[in-house]
């Protein structure tokens, strides 16, 4: 090339010799934050992560991400109350992502294709752990122990694994072929399941402590709570929980014409629904608590809102904010009850109090009263663990007062009383048992990145789009065990993955790469080690903050850099 | 979490899947809309071009002697003659039988005002040149003096608000219509807040044999008085309010607009910028009147260009920059 000397000229791209990065007083950094869906999931699932894998077209990988926390997605996708969706940032934009339906679809796909759980069979000489109770807590615990390399003996007093999922969850909500498939696939990962073994009868906790590295005890709550009105109980009293179990295992319940079910939880609602299916003309559900979305937030029916709505569709009459005053007896037989309106209100005592309103008494004629007011722990063989308490007292790691014994699930006081809470307890306890075996201490809380709120997202870059409707079995066709909620299509699932805002995690949208006026964001798939596809070139980044401002996902944060 | 530092960034820079006509190390202000605009233009025009650049910010910040940020042949002569220089280069290329496209670039001062006759001549002689004007609405390089592009009521150093006036007295010159009136094959407006639309228009202009013109609205944090990180947000408001319509004109006829899905009140745009601060002075009735005036100008634009969208359009002001995982948005 002829070099011209008469005029000023410069060689191409020589501005690179000058590092405008020296101007900078703040610098952009990739900052992973936890999406709210992840932050609130009792099982610890990271929905953002598996939605991202799904959107990239990798459903099996999405399922693996999901089951790295919760091994029962086909189940929980059906029965979880999905707090993830209440927390989902998209809910404040238009409608939350239908996370539970995505979860369910992934769980079903895994069963359909027999995708292998991400576990290896334990070594023949691996240390042994024991798990008592094969409900969701025990199953999750056993699975995570397996993932951590242990051999696991799982015991249950019943002939089959599944816990309350099997004994009390009606098949119209959780078809047994789904539960069976998921539990079987899980056990087949290498868990040694020992049915018909009851702690306190066939097993002794002290002996187990000697035989195993650690023991996880998750017996759930198997007894209906006792109930009376001022000491009076009907002569033919059935517990709601027992009736439900009979219906599920035997397919029968005592015939009634009209019944009042007392309680506001899942058991009460499910029982009311099966009484309808069994032919009762009138089924009333009476609860102190308010309907969802009504009344004091701390005093709402604990049953899942969509189950309450379906019960009403099926003809159950719900009397919320109502208490039973007395039983109306003819001889020994119940012929009705007297109810009164009541509500929890603030009367200045510091905490809300339940108040009955005089003059609102009404009489309801029914021939059967069935309490379903909660469950209690069957403490056989666990007295050393329990002391005089009604539940196990333990932190979220499940550490009990007995060295080497860990507890979780419904039987742990602060667990949460749900399937996903039980799964989360099982998972965390597995980590704690692993640390115990290695002589390590537990951190105070499970580490979790800061949860990102919607105010940290740049919503301009998203489009409104509706959440899919889930097809439902019409109320008049709900007679027996047919599943009511029918799930959504693969296409709708992909649509949900596409709708996800990717809160706190790079969407690989190219905004930063495209908009940086200084070309200081470089694109690379190979070298970005943090899950994004980009790196900053700090030699030239002036720290203007534009990339951080325009990142839709809140994945770029500016930090002082003086 | 920070990104890994042990990778060879300089090598990575060479492998970027786009053509950078200007590289890093240029001396533009933080968040400069013109620097972004020039890079976006470069991506769309590709390497086979020669640039004739008028005096102004772009020229200054890309070529601090003895360096240059340019990776294409580039030439600067004067403030007023980019159109003439480009015409000459194009004639020379034609004489040599070369197909290299000539791209002229200038600020609004050089385009609307001082270089206008050279540009008009270039159009009239039908040179095969793409002329790109980076419109930051004042003479920024010399310290923010008003140009004929400065919008009505904006404060500059030569249109200060005071007793006599509320900022610039006159209106913003409608340059794209004047260009179109030359019977130009293609004249369009674009915004750095809508990069895909911008590059699409540049590519369209590049395909045309003959003179074409693109006016790119480019926020200037220094001259407009906003923070560098707000450039895109402020610029997007210029489009969403209707104050800067995105239009395409072919042979003088309107052939395309970016519909506004949801018109934003002009105050949303104005209040983000110090150059309009005086319009928000409490108790000054002139300020209220000017705000109404500017709103009327926006409404007028929307009406004459038919900018109001009908429902949701993938290419309207809300849909055009929707992101997708994997970046397909910018294709
Ligand atoms: C009718 C009903 C409906 C429900 N609906 C929902 C719902 O829709 N969504 C939801 O999230 N939750 C629901 N729940 C709650 C949910 O079922 C429980 O929170 C969950 O099953 C608790 O899991 P777990 O593993 O702690 O206990 P469980 O599932 O109860 O399992 C405990 C297991 O331990 C075994 N066991 C007990 N004692 C011993 C012993 N001494 N030796 C050996 N084995 C023993 C039991 O046989 C059982 O298999 C419902 C509960 C009921 C009763
Ligand atoms: C004939 C002439 N008059 C004045 C100047 C001084 N001058 C250099 S750049 C400039 C302003 C450029 O403004 P504009 O074209 O809008 O570009 P910007 O810097 O805003 O990008 C002026 C007045 C000059 N270089 N030549
Ligand atoms: S939008 Fe996506 S990442 Fe954000 S909370 Fe909802 S599901 Fe999670
Ligand atoms: S946009 Fe570019 S220069 Fe500005 S902070 Fe981000 S990387 Fe740095
Ligand atoms: S702007 Fe887009 S590509 Fe850049 S970090 Fe944010 S999400 Fe990732």
Residues sharing a CB contact under 8 Å with residue A178, sequence separation 6 or more, in sequence order: A74, A75, A78, A107, A108, A111
Backbone angles phi, psi at A341, to 5 degrees: -75, 135
Please provide the size of chain A in residues. 562
**8 A C-beta contact, residue B197 and residue B9:** no
Give tens-digit pLDDT for B210-263. 999 999 999 999 999 999 999 999 999 999 999 999 999 999 999 999 999 999
Residue B2 pLDDT more than 60? no
Helix locations, chain B, DSSP H: 9-14, 33-45, 57-62, 82-95, 108, 116-124, 175-180, 195-207, 231-240, 266-270, 285-305
Pairwise CA distance, residues A221 & A374, whole Å? 9
Residue A47 pLDDT more than 90? yes
Closest CA to A67 of A152, A143, A169, A178: A143
Pairwise CA distance, residues A234 & B136, whole Å? 85
pLDDT for the residue B3: 45
* B239/chain A closest Cα distance in angstroms: 14
In this prediction the pTM is: 0.92
Residues sharing a CB contact under 8 Å with residue A507, sequence separation 6 or more, in sequence order: A52, A552, A553, A555, B323, B324, B325
Two tokens at A442? 């537990």
3-state secondary structure of A51: helix
* A443/chain B closest Cα distance in angstroms: 21
Query: Hey, which residues does A371 pair with through a beta bridge?
Result: A262
CATH (residue range A36-117+457-499): 1.10.1060.10
Closest CA to B35 of B55, B17, B12, B60: B60
Two tokens at A169? 């969850």
Give tens-digit pLDDT for A145-163. 999 999 999 999 999 999 9
User: Mutate which of B16, B25, B313 to test chain A, going by most A C-beta atoms within 10 A?
Assistant: B25
pLDDT for the residue B4: 47
Q: What is the mean pLDDT of residues B289-296?
A: 97
pLDDT for the residue A494: 97
Please identify, in words, the CATH class of the domain defined by A14-32+505-560: alpha beta
Q: Given pLDDT bands bounded at 50, 70 and 90, which one contains residue A2? A: low
Pairwise CA distance, residues B10 & B28, whole Å? 21
3-state secondary structure of B30: coil
Chain A nearest-CA residue for B324: A509
Among A240-249, A454-463, B148-157, whose mean pLDDT is lowest?
A240-249
**8 A C-beta contact, residue A102 and residue A497:** yes
Chain A nearest-CA residue for B196: A514
Pairwise CA distance, residues A490 & B82, whole Å? 57
Residue A6 pLDDT more than 70? no
Mean pLDDT of chain A: 94
**Which residues of chain B neighbour A12 with C-beta distances below 8 Å?**
68, 70-72
Q: Which residues, numbered 432 to 451 in chain A, qualify as contacts with chain B under a Cβ-Cβ cut-off of 8 Å?
A: none
Question: How many CA atoms within 13 Å lie on the side-chain side of B327?
Answer: 19
CB atoms within 10 A of CB A145: 33
Residue B39 pLDDT more than 90? yes
Q: Given pLDDT bands bounded at 50, 70 and 90, which one contains residue A64? A: very high
Pairwise CA distance, residues A193 & A131, whole Å? 9
The H or E element spanning position A351 is none
What is the largest distance, in Å, between two alpha-carbon atoms of chain A?
121
Question: How many CA atoms within 13 Å lie on the side-chain side of B122?
Answer: 31
Pairwise CA distance, residues A145 & B307, whole Å? 62
- In chain A, domain spans: 14-32+505-560, 36-117+457-499, 128-222+377-438, 228-375
Q: pLDDT: is B7 or B20 the higher one?
A: B20
Pairwise CA distance, residues A266 & A279, whole Å? 20
Give tens-digit pLDDT for A114-139. 999 999 999 999 999 999 999 999 99
User: Mutate which of B9, B36, B226, B323 to test chain A, going by most A C-beta atoms within 10 A?
Assistant: B323
List, as one string, the DSSP characters of A67-126: HTT-S-HHHHHHH---HHHHH-GGGGTSS---HHHHHHHHHHHHHHHTPPPS--PPPTT-
What is the largest distance, in Å, between two alpha-carbon atoms of chain B?
66
Residue A380 pLDDT more than 90? no
Q: Which residues, numbered 46 to 85 in chain A, qualify as contacts with chain B under a Cβ-Cβ cut-off of 8 Å?
A: 52, 55-56
pLDDT for the residue A299: 86
3-state secondary structure of B100: coil
Q: What is the mean pLDDT of residues B184-199?
A: 97
Q: What are the Cα distances from residue A347, in Å, to A296, A342, A359, B135, B159? A: 13, 14, 20, 65, 65
**Which residues of chain B neighbour A20 with C-beta distances below 8 Å?**
24-27
Give tens-digit pLDDT for B172-187. 999 999 999 999 999 9
Domain B9-305 has CATH 3.40.50.970: yes
Helix A99-113 vs helix A490-499: crossing angle, to nearest 10? 130
Two tokens at B81? 């003659």
pLDDT for the residue B1: 43
Q: Do A510 and B329 touch (CB under 8 A)?
A: yes
Residue A527 pLDDT more than 80? no
Q: What is the mean pLDDT of residues B129-156?
A: 98
**Which residues of chain B neighbour A463 with C-beta distances below 8 Å?**
312, 318-319, 322
**CB-count burial class (<10 Å; 0-12, 13-18, 19+) for A245:** middle
pLDDT for the residue B53: 98
A228-375 matches A128-222+377-438 in CATH topology: yes
Chain A nearest-CA residue for B22: A13
Give tens-digit pLDDT for B112-135. 999 999 999 999 999 999 999 999
Q: What is the mean pLDDT of residues A321-346?
A: 89
- In chain B, domain spans: 9-305
Give tens-digit pLDDT for A472-483. 999 999 988 999
**Which residues of chain B neighbour A534 with C-beta distances below 8 Å?**
3
Q: What is the mean pLDDT of residues A341-366?
A: 88
pLDDT for the residue B27: 98
Q: Which CATH number fits domain A128-222+377-438: 2.30.40.10, 3.40.50.150, 3.50.50.60, 3.60.140.10?
A: 3.50.50.60
Closest CA to B326 of A461, A508, A524, A552: A508
**8 A C-beta contact, residue A485 and residue A467:** no
Residue B330 pLDDT more than 60? no
Q: Given pLDDT bands bounded at 50, 70 and 90, which one contains residue A25? A: very high
User: What kind of architecture, by CATH, is found in domain A228-375?
Assistant: 3-Layer(bba) Sandwich (3.50)
Q: Tokens 């077209």, residue?
A: A57
């Amino acid at each position: 090339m002829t070099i011209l000397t008469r005029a000023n000229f410069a060689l191409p791209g020589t501005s690179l010799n000058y590092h405008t990065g020296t101007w900078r007083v703040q610098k952009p950094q990739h900052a992973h934050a936890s999406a709210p869906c992840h932050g609130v999931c009792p099982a610890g699932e990271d929905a953002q992560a598996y939605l991202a894998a799904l959107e990239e077209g990798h459903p099996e990988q999405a399922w693996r991400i999901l089951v790295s926390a919760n091994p029962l997605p086909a189940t929980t996708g059906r029965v979880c109350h999905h707090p993830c969706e209440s927390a989902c940032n998209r809910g404040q934009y238009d409608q939350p992502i239908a996370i539970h339906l995505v979860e369910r679809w992934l769980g079903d796909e895994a069963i359909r294709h027999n995708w292998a759980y991400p576990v290896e069979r334990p070594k023949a000489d691996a240390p042994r752990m024991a798990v008592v109770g094969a409900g969701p807590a025990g199953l999750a615990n056993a699975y995570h122990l397996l993932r951590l390399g242990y051999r696991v003996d799982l015991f249950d007093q019943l002939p089959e694994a599944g816990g309350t999922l099997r004994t009390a969850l009606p098949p119209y909500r959780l078809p047994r072929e789904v539960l069976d498939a998921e539990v079987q696939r899980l056990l087949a990962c290498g868990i040694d399941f020992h049915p018909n073994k009851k702690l306190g009868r066939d097993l002794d906790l002290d002996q187990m402590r000697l035989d195993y590295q650690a023991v996880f005890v998750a017996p759930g709550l198997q007894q209906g709570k006792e109930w009376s009105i001022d000491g009076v109980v009907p002569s033919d009293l059935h517990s709601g929980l027992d009736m439900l179990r009979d219906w599920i295992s035997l397919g029968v319940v005592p015939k009634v014409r009209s019944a009042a079910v007392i309680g506001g939880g899942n058991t009460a609602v499910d029982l009311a629904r099966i009484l309808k299916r069994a032919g009762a003309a009138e089924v009333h559900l009476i609860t102190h608590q308010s309907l969802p979305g009504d009344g004091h937030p701390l005093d709402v029916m604990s049953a899942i809102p969509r189950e309450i709505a379906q019960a009403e569709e099926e003809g159950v009459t719900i009397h919320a904010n109502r208490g039973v005053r007395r039983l109306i007896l003819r001889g020994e037989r119940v012929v009705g009850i007297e109810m009164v309106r009541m509500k929890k209100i603030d009367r200045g005592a510091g905490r809300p109090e339940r108040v009955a309103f005089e003059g609102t008494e009404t009489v309801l004629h029914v021939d059967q009263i069935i309490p379903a007011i909660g469950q209690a722990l069957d403490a056989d063989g666990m007295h050393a663990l329990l002391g005089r308490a009604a539940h196990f007292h333990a932190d979220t790691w499940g550490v009990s007062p007995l060295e080497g014994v860990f507890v979780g699930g419904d039987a742990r006081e602060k667990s949460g009383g749900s399937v996903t809470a039980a799964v989360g307890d099982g998972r965390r306890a597995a980590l704690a048992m692993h640390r115990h075996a290695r002589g390590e201490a537990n951190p105070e809380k499970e580490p979790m990145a800061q949860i990102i709120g919607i105010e940290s997202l740049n919503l301009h870059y998203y489009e409104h789009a509706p959440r899919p409707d889930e097809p439902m079995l019409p109320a008049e066709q709900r007679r027996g065990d047919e599943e009511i909620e029918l799930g959504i299509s693969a296409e709708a699932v992909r649509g949900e993955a596409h709708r996800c805002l990717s809160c706190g995690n790079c969407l690989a949208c190219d905004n930063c790469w495209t908009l940086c006026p200084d070309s200081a964001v470089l694109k690379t798939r190979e070298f970005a080690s943090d899950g994004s596809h980009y790196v900053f070139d700090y030699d030239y980044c002036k720290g203007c903050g534009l990339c951080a401002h325009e990142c839709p996902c809140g994945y770029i944060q500016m930090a002082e850099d003086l | 979490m920070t990104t890994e530092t042990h990778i060879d960034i300089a090598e990575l820079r060479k492998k970027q899947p786009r053509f950078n006509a200007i590289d890093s190390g240029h001396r533009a202000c933080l968040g400069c809309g013109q620097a972004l605009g020039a890079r976006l233009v470069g991506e769309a025009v590709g390497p086979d071009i020669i640039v004739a650049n008028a005096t102004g910010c772009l020229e200054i910040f890309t070529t601090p002697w003895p360096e240059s940020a340019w990776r294409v042949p580039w030439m600067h002569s004067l403030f007023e003659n980019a159109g003439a220089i480009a015409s000459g280069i194009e004639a020379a290329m034609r004489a040599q039988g070369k197909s290299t496209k000539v791209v002229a670039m200038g600020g609004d001062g050089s385009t609307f005002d001082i270089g206008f006759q050279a540009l008009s001549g270039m159009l009239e002689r039908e040179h095969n040149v793409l002329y790109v004007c980076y419109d930051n609405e004042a003479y920024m390089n010399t310290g923010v003096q008003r140009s004929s592009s400065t919008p009505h009521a904006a404060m500059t150093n030569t249109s200060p608000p005071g007793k006599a006036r509320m900022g610039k007295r006159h209106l913003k010159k409608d340059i794209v219509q004047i260009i179109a009136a030359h019977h130009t094959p293609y004249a369009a407006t674009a915004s750095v807040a809508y990069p895909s639309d911008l590059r699409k228009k540049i590519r369209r202009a590049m395909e045309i044999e003959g003179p074409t013109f693109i006016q790119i609205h480019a926020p200037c944090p220094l001259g407009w008085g906003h923070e560098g990180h707000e450039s895109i947000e402020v610029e997007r408001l210029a489009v969403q309010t209707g104050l800067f319509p995105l239009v395409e004109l072919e042979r003088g006829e309107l052939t395309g607009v970016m519909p506004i899905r949801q018109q934003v009140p002009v105050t949303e745009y104005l209040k983000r910028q110090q150059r309009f601060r005086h319009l928000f002075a409490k108790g000054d009735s002139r300020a209220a009147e000017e705000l109404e005036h500017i709103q009327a100008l926006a409404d007028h634009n929307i009406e004459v260009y038919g900018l109001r969208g009908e429902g949701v359009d993938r290419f309207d002001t809300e849909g055009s920059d929707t992101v997708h995982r994997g970046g397909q948005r910018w294709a």
